[in-house]
Structure 1
Amino acid sequence: MTLLRSTLFFIAILAAAPVTPSFAQTAPQIEPFSLPVRPVVLSQDIIKRFLYSFAPVGAQMKEEAAGNTATPEATARLDKKAAEYGFKDFNDWGETTRTIMVTYHWLTNPDPREEVEKAIAAIPSTPNLSDKQKADMIDGLKTGLETVEKARPSAENMAIVKKHLSSIKPLYKQWTNL
């Protein structure tokens, strides 16, 4: 059931969320379950830098978010923190994070279609929803599934991330709970 919930949540967020990070009223953030705009071609070096950078860049993100304003200074501090770990800037770090996390999700949940089909089959018997709400949920799941299937990572990225599953797992849990 947990796998089903996480997969459905992943698909629902992808269907509803933009594919870029939110820069609205707060400092730049990396939205959980967002897809990379341009997936990064991963390497052992990139994974290593990501693993070492996740906590410090995440701490900088929280510090900037506490200020509740997106300023050039906040963005510059995030860019500087990401650059300390060999990333071009915060956006480069964000694209790498999204690439790694989506790849991790695919490796640990390799058949989203099966999970979505189970969820779709359960919707008609869901109490307290109108027929329109049920139809909207089904349409949303189908749209989300299409988005997820198009976002399947490359075999090369999957092979590299697979070598680091145990190291990425706790970071993935943090990312999904942002």
Structure 2
Amino acid sequence: MLETRRATIDDAELITRHRKAMFADMRDAPEPPLEEMARHFELWVLRMLASGKYAGWIISDGDRDIASAGLLVLDWAPHFLDPTGEQRAYILNVFVEPEYRRRGLAQALMSECMDEARRRGIRVVALHASQKGQPVYEKLGFTTSNEMLFVDRVIE
């Protein structure tokens, strides 16, 4: 039987494993950077869970954790989309084990994230979507934005 629960700091390793699997599934990312990311991410997500800035949910099938997602609360300047709001939310780490996909689990996790944003009074929620995930998010009302990205490749 499937059950959804709120993530705790005890779930940092699972969230990290799912994040790594998500990126491995989305791209042809080489293993060394994924491993390094995972080492740093686990410490980060522990801090964010403890501070309440990261709220996560996990779906289990019996004693197997099969899906997870998180909502990160960010300080953000008031914006014309929310003229009085000082926070924005970012949904991340949406991952469902391959054999459990196409059963509505990602949508259920997204509902948890969106409900949490509403409880916190956050009106603007962003995310980055893989090609596989984009139809799920569009059904929930997300639209494509004009965001651009710069990555400084110089590492000292």
Specify the TM-score bucket, using the shorter chain as the normaliser. under 0.3
Specify which structure has the higher proportion of helix: 1
TM-score by length of 1: 0.24
Who wins on radius of gyration, i.e. which is larger? 1
TM-score by length of 2: 0.26
Specify which structure has the higher proportion of strand: 2
